[in-house]
Structure 1
Amino acid sequence: MRPVWKAVSWAGGVLGAAVTGAAVGVAAHSARGAARRRQADDTDFGRRPALPPSRESTVAADDGLPLSVEEVDPRDGGAAELTVVLVHGFALDRRCWGFQRASLAELTGPRVRQVLFDLRGHGRSGRASAESSTIEQLARDLDAVLRAVAPTGPLVLVGHSMGGMTIMALAEQRPDLFDDRVRGVAFIGTSAGQVGGSGLPRMVLSRRNPVPLALGRLASLQPVLVEGARRAGGQLAWSLVRRLAFGDRSVDPALVDLVDDMIDSTSVRVLTDFLETLGTHDRLLALAELRRCELLVLGGDADRLTPFSHSETMAEQLPEATLVRVAGAGHLVMLEQADTVTEHLVALIRRCAPEGDTGVDGSDTTKDEDGQACQQQA
């Protein structure tokens, strides 16, 4: 049994590390890591309660799979003028947007309603089959969520990593939506293609790699054995999460714990099922469907998983986009440098606001003026 759980622990870690910046350890967390966890309990982030949703619902995807959805209304009770949809990445869940969620709820110029949901196989959403674990299906899921909880009104779509890829696939499938309702799109730490070309190990994403294939089959046949072996191996190595998901080694330990927990909550089967679609993702041409939108392309220059060169390649295809390079930030830039990411998201949202909207301070937030301000800032 010992060789089995070691193999599962190692292989699961390689797969997770390749896409999310984590790895599964083969031993218990070190005393040093445990000390950091105790320290994390005393941080402001650890004490701060999550902003509760205004509404929770379950949306049925087109294949019937249940998708867990939350909506967050403006904190001051005013009427929202547009909807912001936040789409998380692989092996994470909607908790990764905690900082942005709290800040955008306070926004008054314009007021926004937020929609957050867990991708299939992630968080509280239902478990998908291997066949439906594709970026194309994720795009159809996003479309189902929009039709259910945001059927009308202007939209801003924000995607991190595989969430950004999902938005690109939606643009392929529903170009009419981007002509009509989607006013803005933000791509954070993502890629339009050749994911294995730089940053991620090509061998891990290969359909011919026997390790993920064998691990996926084992996880399908013996899920209890695989997940038990994964946890017996020490769960996710805290130090590797910090090293691979973040750019700064002094990052708040509570943030590392949060990412550690999100990845640990994602089954090995999900890790293996989504590898092929990540490896074959190629949507550089689909970016043309977005040129009528206000655009933000943001990445960390210490991202080891989707290096900033991926953002630069996307910006070359989207010359009107605001390209933001966040110094020292890794793949989880929206957690590591939350204020910077939120600042640029707010600028994007204001450029997308209905003409003539004014905030509570009376300042004009029309598209042209805020667009100019954002370009100066960038």
Structure 2
Amino acid sequence: MSTPTVLRRVAAVRTGDGALVHAVVDGADDAPATVVLAHGWTLAQAAWDDVAALLAPRVADGELRLIRYDQRGHGRSTWGRYADDVAELSIDQLGADLGDLLDQLVPTGPVVLGGHSMGGMTIMCLAAARPELFGDRVGGVALVSTSAGELAPPGETLAERLQVRLAPGLVTTAIAGARAIERLRQLVPPASPRHRKIVRELLYGADATDEMVVAGAEIMHASTVRAFAAFYPALGAHDKRTELAALTGVPVEILVGDSDKLTPLRHSRTMAGALPDARLHVAERTGHMLIQERPHLVADALERLLVAAR
């Protein structure tokens, strides 16, 4: 089967503090609906490639416009006001960035948002800060392998208390020594069996192929030590469990793998409890990288949300 021809352009969205967010826009500007996809921590827009490929025929037919973008400090996007100091960096900032992207690239028409991991948290932050967008402009949301809060260690054991106390210092040290750490990373590239074994055990389920693992490992390896360290405390501080009201007014699909180690099933159940009309899908033998492992499930969820949004 031939690959559909898709109109593509690259856009740079300037945020309120001067950061440039790199986005790829597939499809015509006058398409009847737009899907915007936000990626996770230490990933990039390429993490959505498998889902995008499944949506490509609809994009080529003019039924859909698809936007993928690099989160601040990831991929080709810049740091803005956090270029020199990441102490105040938060997932709320990523929510504001997504709002700027919608204002500039999708000023009109129905929108469906999809977020994987930190990308899902980004959508929650936007909903908390700008609830008027949801139900009016944003007509559906897919939350994939993500969490509304309680990601930081609870501090119940000595090891957890030390982790919480030492985290800020470790972040500072990691950023200061980023060049040295980057050199060490090059000694164990994604092609090495050791690297693939670590990535597979942490992020993937039992059915993941070697090709999936290598592709994901390469995306993460292209990310910087600074992105890894800077967003770690921001993820721990993220808590929108009591600020999901805006999402109750739109269709929501929640997807999670039963083997997800980073945002386990209990996080998705918490969100589903706060959003009683949401649909919860648990994928068997699937890890945190559900968008790679089960892209058909995600594409199908986005299709359902588009029908509802239109």
Same fold by TM-score, threshold 0.5 exceeded? yes
Q: Which residue of 1 aligns with 2:205?
A: 247
Q: Is structure 2 residue 172 aligned with structure 1 residue 217?
A: yes
* Structure 1 residue 136: Cα displacement: 0.8
CA contact under 8 A between 2:9 and 2:26: conserved in structure 1? yes
CA gap 1:153/1:206 in 2 versus in 1, 3 angstroms? farther
Q: Which residue of 1 aligns with 2:265?
A: 308
Q: Which residue of 2 aligns with 1:97?
A: 48
Letter paired with 2:98 = L
CA gap 1:334/1:116 in 2 versus in 1, 3 angstroms? same
Q: For residues 297-335 of structure 1, what are the alpha-carbon distances to aligned partners after superposition, in whole Å with 9 as ceiling and x for unaligned?
A: 111111111111111111111111111111111100111
Secondary structure, counterpart of 2:244 in structure 1: helix
Quick one: distance in 2 between partners of 1:51 and 1:132?
A: 43
TM-score (norm 1): 0.73
Letter paired with 2:56 = A
Letter paired with 2:217 = D
CA contact under 8 A between 2:54 and 2:296: conserved in structure 1? no
CA contact under 8 A between 2:112 and 2:302: conserved in structure 1? no
Q: Is structure 2 residue 157 aligned with structure 1 residue 191?
A: no
Q: How does 1:166-181 map to 2 (within 5 A)?
A: 166-181=122-137
Q: Is structure 2 residue 42 aligned with structure 1 residue 88?
A: no
Secondary structure, counterpart of 1:277 in structure 2: helix
CA gap 1:280/1:218 in 2 versus in 1, 3 angstroms? closer
TM-score (norm 2): 0.88
Quick one: distance in 2 between partners of 1:276 and 1:203?
A: 14
Q: Which residue of 1 aligns with 2:196?
A: 238
- Overall identity of the aligned pairs, in %: 35
* Structure 1 residue 214: Cα displacement: 4.3
Q: How does 1:143-162 map to 2 (within 5 A)?
A: 143-162=99-118
Letter paired with 2:184 = A
CA gap 1:245/1:221 in 2 versus in 1, 3 angstroms? closer
Q: Is structure 2 residue 71 aligned with structure 1 residue 116?
A: no
Q: For residues 160-193 of structure 1, what are the alpha-carbon distances to aligned partners after superposition, in whole Å with 9 as ceiling and x for unaligned?
A: 1110101000011111111421110110000111
Quick one: distance in 2 between partners of 1:251 and 1:219?
A: 31
Letter paired with 1:118 = D
Q: Which residue of 2 aligns with 1:55?
A: 9
Q: Which residue of 2 aligns with 1:135?
A: 91
* Structure 1 residue 219: Cα displacement: 4.2
Q: Is structure 2 residue 20 aligned with structure 1 residue 69?
A: no
Q: Is structure 2 residue 224 aligned with structure 1 residue 273?
A: no
Secondary structure, counterpart of 1:195 in structure 2: coil
CA gap 1:102/1:189 in 2 versus in 1, 3 angstroms? same
* Structure 1 residue 143: Cα displacement: 0.9
Quick one: distance in 2 between partners of 1:337 and 1:51?
A: 24
CA gap 1:113/1:219 in 2 versus in 1, 3 angstroms? same
Q: For residues 39-63 of structure 1, what are the alpha-carbon distances to aligned partners after superposition, in whole Å with 9 as ceiling and x for unaligned?
A: xxxxxxxxx9998761101111111
Task: Extract unaligned runs of 5+ from structure 1.
Answer: 1-47, 354-378
Letter paired with 1:216 = V
Q: Which residue of 1 aligns with 2:219?
A: 262
CA contact under 8 A between 1:53 and 1:70: conserved in structure 2? no
* Structure 1 residue 146: Cα displacement: 0.8
Task: Extract unaligned runs of 5+ from structure 2.
Answer: none
CA contact under 8 A between 2:196 and 2:217: conserved in structure 1? yes
Q: Which residue of 2 aligns with 1:357?
A: none
Match of 2:57 among 101, 106, 115: 106
CA contact under 8 A between 1:190 and 1:310: conserved in structure 2? yes
Letter paired with 1:193 = G
Quick one: distance in 1 between partners of 2:161 and 2:141?
A: 29
CA gap 1:163/1:341 in 2 versus in 1, 3 angstroms? same
CA contact under 8 A between 2:22 and 2:69: conserved in structure 1? yes
Quick one: distance in 2 between partners of 1:220 and 1:284?
A: 30
Q: For residues 22-75 of structure 1, what are the alpha-carbon distances to aligned partners after superposition, in whole Å with 9 as ceiling and x for unaligned?
A: xxxxxxxxxxxxxxxxxxxxxxxxxx999876110111111101110110117x
Quick one: distance in 1 between partners of 2:3 and 2:22?
A: 20
Deviates more, 1:147-156 or 1:132-141: 132-141
CA contact under 8 A between 2:27 and 2:62: conserved in structure 1? no
Secondary structure, counterpart of 2:37 in structure 1: strand
The root-mean-square deviation of aligned C-alpha atoms, in Å, is 2.7
